[in-house]
Chain A
């Protein structure tokens, strides 16, 4: 999903995304990992008992879903624009489409528009089927000063 949009001169950098991830304690606490496929950057988060919000279903906490959209959007921005410092999330608007099951969750994002100071990002999370997203998010990031 994030492959087609390439903004600015730099080539995508998986190494910079990985470097940004390991200096983000909260993302490591959630257990987020990164992989690079033919379709661009992808986040992967394993299911874990302490990520549950509703024990009756059980379903993943809405705050985990929101956090994964945030982290996926941020790391994709770092990846695509090869940023060596972290962009800052200004606002996020999440639509919860399906409940998150106790299963691995995948995330991808794309730059809808990247400017010099701001980037508008669309992020998606899914579990079994990329065609059946569990949540989508629209995010605005302030880019680090160059």
Chain B
């Protein structure tokens, strides 16, 4: 795990609101994020399972972080999600904690490709798989690799 992730203190507000936690003990590959079940994350008041949107949001967030963890990533480069596809394999009980792992599978100066999986922490059941594409160095915060260097990062 890179120094960036070890020193990561600030979650994006929505990550905090959901209760995402970086799995610092994780040894890889990629980056892992934990999300403990909670009532507000429920998709159905009667069934007490994670809402699909919660799983999707955690995959999106973890995917963004795994790009920032990539050795070629220049700190301060902004990024934007271009697209995200998620397959919901089965539902997950709110008694469980989700572990989402994202691995960056392709990275050049402009685009990064990520694959992610969500599984239950204790029973290790596959809950969802995801695939995302990100654009790096979006206009709001130019890519530091380009001549117009800019400060300021982006926590997606």
Contacts and interface: CB of A to CB of B under 8 A. Distances in A.
B17 A51 contact: yes
B53 A70 contact: yes
Given A24-B44, A24-B51, A96 B83 contact: yes
A91 B51 CA distance: 13
Contacts of A49: 13
Given A57-B140, A67-B57, A23 B45 contact: yes
A94 B51 CA distance: 17
A57 B17 CA distance: 19
Q: Describe B's contact surface by its main secondary structure.
A: mixed
B41 interface: yes
Interface in B27-46: 39-46
How many residues of B sit at the interface, in one of the four size bands? 35 or more
A70 B156 contact: no
Contacts of B39: 25
Interface in A15-61: 23-27, 29-30, 49-57, 61
A93 B54 contact: no
A49 to B, nearest CB: 6
Interface string A59-100: 001111011101100000000000000101111111110010
Interface of A: 23-27, 29-30, 49-57, 61-64, 66-68, 70-71, 86, 88-96, 99
Given A53-B156, A86-B43, A90-B88, 5 more contacts: A51-B14, A52-B12, A53-B13, A66-B53, A94-B83
